[in-house]
Structure 1
Amino acid sequence: MRGLRRWWDDTASGLPATFWYLWSGLLINRAGAFAMLFLSLYLTAARGASASLAGLVVGAYGAGGAAGTLLGGVLADRWGRRSTLLAAHLGAAGLMVGLAFSRHLAVIAALAALVGMVHSMPSPAFVAAIVDVVPEARRSRAFNLQFWAFNLGMAVASLLAGVLAEASFLALFLVDAAATLAAAVVIALKVPETLTRRPAVTPRAVAGRRPGLHTALTDRTFLAFVGLTFLLAVLTMQTSTIMPLAMRADGLRPSAYGMVVALGGALIVVGQLFVPRLIEPYRKSTVLAVSTGLMALGFGALTVADGLPLYLGAAVVWTVGQMLAAPPNAQINADLAPPELRARYQSVFYLTFPAASFVAPALGGLSLQHLGERHWLVVGALGLVTAVGHLLAGPPRERRVAALRAAAERAETVSAGR
């Protein structure tokens, strides 16, 4: 017991109170964000929509999410982290109440797109605020705790959603709104504005232009990292898009798929907190190469998987890879962003996930149909390419981060002199 207490003290030490309030808000937000998990079922079962129409409405939610990610990044840098978080949470709570009582499918589709936008707006602001308040030496642990809270919240949301959906769809939306409102209250009462105005520290390639979203979109070092993260996201999306089809082709029941997903979630909740100490001695590019290599191995092993035990074993391997990748991925993203553009850089980074959620099923379904089990060899090869990419991109990234730190120190010196 003392050892566990000592380990927790080491994990949590050096993290300011504002971080923990942000962490609590994120946990409440994720645990309560369950209504949209059942949107397609709600549309078909309660509103009489066809499967194709339900798919279009869910697609509208995804399109709104892509727009909200960019909007959240711009607002968080211009308006402030706290203001953006409050506006997004209050807007989401109100829109969710509107969805609860809407009857016309056109209205529901419009509301779903708006909900997707306000659901995605907090992500860049949350991460930018964490970078603002957490000392650089503790950010890896902070991001690890953030990833853990996100997954724990999603696990709770999945359980609550099933219970509430069976009881009442109205309750599903209203409880979601109440949880979102609770997160807004925590932020309003406990989270101060963390955005501070600093002298611009932008990459040389765009010096002379006013920094903005275009800065992130033309930053080649950053975009190389975003591209590698996109490939990592395509790997991760296999579990929710292509793997269920492969398991059904192998004669496995839906409950078997549920067991594989539940195992991955349980591993993250139980083991994620131990990751920072494990990876701390190593370079971030090396950790990312190893993590994507493990994911390549796990998904590649599905080439010969024909029963539940092999799927479960492969899930352990790729989940460990995901766990190792989370802290350095977030920290590199924070390190590459000039201080005055943190949220904008986060918004571009987060676009990789909706993009992967489109590409993974679209190309993966085609690949599975024509290649069969050899599809997983392609996925494994993609993981190995990503691992090599991280090893090659690591040194330029490190030089870029060192240059940004030096420029930031010079800017702070000039500002202090003034």
Structure 2
Amino acid sequence: MALGLRANAAQFSLLVAVNALVGGMLGQERTVLPLLATRTFHLTAYTAALTYILAFGVSKAATNYVAGTWSDRYGRKPVLVAGWLVAVPVPLLLIWAPSWGWIVAANVLLGVSQGLTWSTTVIMKIDLVGPARRGFAMGLNEAAGYGAVAVTALATGYLAQAFGLRPAPFLLGIAFAALGLGLSTVFVRETRGHARLEAANHVARADGRHDHLHDELTDAQVFTQTSFREPALSSASQAGLVNNLNDGLAWGLFPVLFAATGMSVARIGVLAALYPGVWGLGQLFTGALSDRWGRKWLIAGGMWLQALALALVALGNTFTLWAVAAVLLGAGTAMVYPTLLASIGDVAHPAWRARSVGVYRLWRDGGFAVGALLAGVVADAWGVRTAVWVVAGLTAGSGLVVAVRMYETHLPAASRAAA
């Protein structure tokens, strides 16, 4: 057993493929579900229409937390396989749902599944790759997941345009669930031993940070450090929450905003795919960049770029301007997403890292629920564009918190050598 990307290339690549399938399960909803809410189920209130994102966010956030604990207790692979088993009924429920309540129930299951599967693929890649290339590993993981979200959002837009909103777009989800379950059950191997190997050879930071964060922390202590006390961990947690708050807004309200101009479902699908597409591909570069340049300013700058993009969405009325905004939003998110995960891996001790990742992802994906509630209430009261402006302001403020409170968690190689 050895740590490193080269030493574990086969398993790492397999986990990248599995996470692409996880992303595809999410992508099947991005274009179609907001339109199902208004056109098939005739929901007129934005708050009611966004209940599926609220259900998804709450269930995924809670499951992220237990996924980290269960991964330490029972192993990574059993949690991954369990997540795929929960995913199997989701596309079937979306196809056959007779009422909106069934759609909400399907998204509870989707949230549980995503919490178990995405969390464990993150934890397993961190286990395998070791500390030196953690940002690059997270970039590959998130690029695969959100690249698949984009491709599936685009594909479902064209399928919906050609064959209707149901069932054609969700047939992709059936294929993804079957393939993901099969690969995870037969070919994925347990990685908990790699984390134990890293823990046995763990070296403290030269600057003395984290000396109080030894390897014997209770679940409550891990939650407190990650959420509130430790400056870098808590800064990452709030930034993750706000990032997914604006993603929940983009998922739930952007297609409705675009459709209000008379735009076709296929063109809405292009816009719905552009944002996660740039996000996904960009992470191939930003994760590795954070290994060279450090984490803090990529995170702060990414939050500010997202805020600018949201302002352009609020101001826009044309496909071209919205496409530019989607590209900028994706680029900002790409700067933030793998870098936040890498910063958690930098600070958390290998003995409790899986639990810390779970707590961070609890806060991050809780942003979906907060975003659905906030965006729905504001949009119902003052309109969709006002909701976008409010979230843009919150996103800019989150970047400021990172700039002020977070320290650099990963010293570039030259700085480490000098120290």
SS in 1 for 2:297: helix
**Does structure 1 residue 185 correspond to structure 2 residue 214?**
no
- Tell me if the contact between 2:87 and 2:113 (Cα under 8 Å) persists in the aligned partners: yes
**Does structure 1 residue 67 correspond to structure 2 residue 66?**
no
Report matched runs for 1:290-309 at 5 Å: 290-302=301-313, 304-309=315-320
1:348 to 329, 354, 359: 359
1:384 to 396, 409, 414: 396
**Does structure 1 residue 156 correspond to structure 2 residue 168?**
no
Deviation at 1:398, TM superposition (A): 6.1
2:345 aligns with: 334
Deviation at 1:360, TM superposition (A): 2.4
Amino acid in the other structure paired with 1:393? R
Identity over aligned pairs, percent:
22
Report matched runs for 1:200-239 at 5 Å: 211-212=218-219, 214-219=221-226, 220-221=229-230, 222-239=233-250
**Does structure 1 residue 87 correspond to structure 2 residue 89?**
no
1:77 to 60, 72, 86: 72
Report matched runs for 1:18-417 at 5 Å: 18-32=11-25, 60-93=55-88, 113-161=108-156, 166=163, 176-196=173-193, 197=196, 211-212=218-219, 214-219=221-226, 220-221=229-230, 222-244=233-255, 251=261, 253=263, 257-268=268-279, 271-276=282-287, 278-302=289-313, 304-367=315-378, 369-370=381-382, 378-395=390-407, 397=409
* Partners of 1:360 and 1:397 in 2: CA distance: 28
Bigger relative contact order (CA 8 A; separation at least 6): 2
Deviation at 1:43, TM superposition (A): 9.2
- Tell me if the contact between 1:237 and 1:360 (Cα under 8 Å) persists in the aligned partners: yes
Q: Which structure carries more helix by proportion? A: 1
* Partners of 1:131 and 1:335 in 2: CA distance: 10
* Partners of 2:167 and 2:315 in 1: CA distance: 44
Deviation at 1:262, TM superposition (A): 3.4
Amino acid in the other structure paired with 2:189? P
- Tell me if the contact between 1:73 and 1:345 (Cα under 8 Å) persists in the aligned partners: yes
* Partners of 2:312 and 2:103 in 1: CA distance: 42
* Partners of 2:171 and 2:387 in 1: CA distance: 42
* Partners of 1:34 and 1:163 in 2: CA distance: 13
Which entry has the higher C-alpha Rg, 1 or 2?
A: 1
Deviation at 1:328, TM superposition (A): 1.4
Question: CA 1:270–1:207 in structure 2 vs 1: closer, same or farther (change >3 Å)?
Answer: closer
| Higher mean C-alpha deviation, range 54-63 or range 284-293 | 54-63
| Higher mean C-alpha deviation, range 263-272 or range 353-362 | 263-272
- Tell me if the contact between 2:28 and 2:153 (Cα under 8 Å) persists in the aligned partners: no
- Tell me if the contact between 1:70 and 1:121 (Cα under 8 Å) persists in the aligned partners: no
Question: CA 1:238–1:163 in structure 2 vs 1: closer, same or farther (change >3 Å)?
Answer: closer
SS in 2 for 1:293: helix
Amino acid in the other structure paired with 2:19? L
* Partners of 2:212 and 2:254 in 1: CA distance: 42
* Partners of 1:187 and 1:382 in 2: CA distance: 38
* Partners of 1:211 and 1:349 in 2: CA distance: 16
Deviation at 1:194, TM superposition (A): 0.6
Amino acid in the other structure paired with 1:195? R
| Higher mean C-alpha deviation, range 314-323 or range 139-148 | 314-323
Number of aligned positions between the proteins: 387
1:17 aligns with: 10
Which segments of 5 or more consecutive residues in structure 2 lack a partner in the other structure?
205-209, 412-419
* Partners of 2:283 and 2:53 in 1: CA distance: 31
Deviation at 1:117, TM superposition (A): 1.7
- Tell me if the contact between 2:142 and 2:280 (Cα under 8 Å) persists in the aligned partners: no
| Higher mean C-alpha deviation, range 33-42 or range 86-95 | 33-42
- Tell me if the contact between 2:134 and 2:342 (Cα under 8 Å) persists in the aligned partners: yes
Q: Deviations over 1:53-88 (max 9, x none)?
A: 987677545543333222322211110011111222
* Partners of 1:110 and 1:213 in 2: CA distance: 30
* Partners of 1:175 and 1:168 in 2: CA distance: 13
SS in 2 for 1:340: coil
Deviation at 1:148, TM superposition (A): 1.4
Calculate the aligned-residue CA RMSD, in Å. Answer: 4.3
* Partners of 2:244 and 2:225 in 1: CA distance: 21
